[in-house]
Amino acid sequence: MAGFIILTVSQLNSYVKSVIESDEKIRGVFIRGEISNCTVHRLSGHVYFTLKDTESAIKAVMFRGNAARIRFIPENGMSVIVQGDVSLYARDGSYQINVFDMQPDGVGAMYVALEQLKKKLSEEGIFDEEKKKAIPRMPQRIGIVTAKGSAALQDILNTLRRRYPCEVVIADVTVQGEGAAENIVRALKILDSADCDEIIVARGGGSAEDLWNFNDERVVRAIYGCTTPVISAIGHETDITLSDFAADLRAPTPTAAAELAAVEMTEINEKIFNLKNIMRKSVEYKLDEKRYELAAIEKVVDADEICKSIEKAEARSKELLTIAGKSIEKHIENKRKTLIDVMKRVDGLGPMKTLMRGYSVVSAGGNTVKSVRELEKGERIEILFSDGKTGARVE
C-alpha cells in the first residue's frame, strides 16, 4: 500500500468533524422535528434526545446552560423547532446537532410551561376544591397584598369603607417585573402570621406577561400554604392565573374581592330588623293564644262574674305588650350601639389611626425598630408618618 495515506479512525473523525463544523450553512440552522428518547443527565444537567420526522432522525444535545434558559420541559412526542450547530461526535463517529435554543412548534413556550406547571400542581392536590377554606363573613382584620397606591387597592378600600368598615393591613409589593414573585411570597407569609381573618391578593389588569408572577410556582405554593383563607383578585374577569386555582376563593375583580370578603352592613341591619319582627310576632301570637283561651272560658263560665277579671286581664295584656315592645326596641338599640362602638374602637386601633395621632414608625434594614439599643451610629433608618415616609441617619 505504498504511496497511500493511512489514517486512524480518530484522524478521520477529527477531519470530518472539522469539515462539518466549518460549513457556515449548517451553523445556527433551524430544524423542525418531534422529540423522542429524551433524557436529562442527572449530574450534568445536559439534555439528550433524538429529533425525528416521518423518514429520518438526528441525535441532539442541549447543554445545561442552554437548557436552563428555556421556559418549558422537553418531553417525548413534543413537536419543536430547534436552533443549533451541526457537529460530529468524534468518539462514536456520529453526527448530531448541538442545540442552543428550542421553541414549541405552534404553541408559545410560556403557554407550554404554564400547562406543565398546572398539571404538576393539580396532581399534587393544590387545586382540590375540598381543601378550600371558608371565607369568614364578619372579619375583624383583612390583609391585602398589592401595590400601594394602585387603583386595585383603592377599589378594595373604598368598597370596604362603604360596605363593612374594619381594620385593614396592607403589604406593599411590586406585582410585576423582576423580584415581584419573591416580594409576594414574603408578604403572604407576613400577613399569614399577623392574625388576619382573611387575605386578599390583588392587582389590576394587564397582559399575560404582566400577570405572569401570579403563575410563579413559589407564589402558588405560598397561597396554598397559608393557614389564613385567601381571596385572589388578579386582573380582569377574563384573566385566569394559577394563583386563582390555589386560592380559597377567586374574585373576578378587586372590587368584587372586597364585596366577597365581608357581609354588607345593610344586610346586618336587615337581619336585626327581621329578628325584631319575629320577636314582636311571637309576643302577639302568645297574646292571641291567651285571648282564645279566655273566649273559651267565657262560654262555660258566667260572663257577669268574670267580666271585670277579663277586662283587667285584657288591660294587663295590652300593658305587657307595650312593655315588651319597648323592651325589645331598647334591647335592639343597645345591641346596635354596642356594634357601632366596637367598630369605632377597632377602626381606632388601626395602624394608620395611630400614625395620624402623631406617632411614627422607625425601621432599619426592612425591620421595625422597637428599641434605641437596636440602632448603631451612622446607620440609615426610615421613618413612616401618616402622610408619607422619610429617611434619616442615626447620630
Question: What CATH number belongs to 136-261?
Answer: 3.40.50.2300
CATH for the 9-107 domain, from 1.10.10.1100, 2.40.50.140, 1.20.1260.10, 1.10.3720.10? 2.40.50.140
3-state secondary structure of 257: helix
DSSP letters, 160-181, are: HHHH---EEEEEE---SSTTHH
Measured distance CA(167)–CA(351) in Å, rounded: 9
Report which of residues 208 and 196 the model is more confident about. Answer: 196
Mean pLDDT of the 69-87 span: 89
3-state secondary structure of 84: strand
The runs of H, that is alpha helices, within 301-392 are 303-348, 351-356
Task: Check residue 2 and give its pLDDT.
Answer: 59
Over 60: is that where the pLDDT of 303 sits? no
Mean pLDDT of the 51-69 span: 91
Grid coordinates of 117: 406547571
Task: Residue 118: count other Cβ atoms within 10 Å of its Cβ.
Answer: 16
Over 90: is that where the pLDDT of 335 sits? no
Mean pLDDT of the 306-312 span: 73
Residue 183 pLDDT class (50, 70, 90 cuts): very high
Q: Name the nearest CA neighbour of 256 among 202, 216, 302.
A: 202
Measured distance CA(392)–CA(166) in Å, rounded: 33
Dump pLDDT digits (tens) for 376-388. Answer: 888 888 888 777 8
Contact predicate 289/317, CB 8 Å: no
DSSP letters, 15-83, are: HHHHHHHT-GGGSSEEEEEEEEEEEE-TTT--EEEEEE-SS-EEEEEE-HHHHTTSSS---TT-EEEEE
Mean pLDDT of the 84-111 span: 85
Measured distance CA(278)–CA(263) in Å, rounded: 22
Longest dimension (CA), the chain: 155
Dump pLDDT digits (tens) for 10-34. Answer: 888 888 888 888 888 888 889 989 9
Question: What is the domain partition of the chain in residue ranges?
Answer: 9-107, 136-261, 266-332, 352-393
Q: Most confidently modeled of 10-24, 94-108, 140-154, 288-302?
A: 140-154
Q: Are strands 79-89 and 94-104 parallel, antiparallel or unpaired?
A: antiparallel
Task: Check residue 366 and give its pLDDT.
Answer: 76
Task: Check residue 200 and give its pLDDT.
Answer: 96
Over 70: is that where the pLDDT of 306 sits? no
Q: Are strands 47-52 and 79-89 parallel, antiparallel or unpaired?
A: unpaired
Over 90: is that where the pLDDT of 1 sits? no
Q: What is the pTM of this model?
A: 0.53
Report which of residues 307 and 5 the model is more confident about. Answer: 5
Dump pLDDT digits (tens) for 200-254. Answer: 999 988 877 788 899 999 999 999 999 999 999 998 887 889 999 999 999 999 9
Measured distance CA(164)–CA(73) in Å, rounded: 47
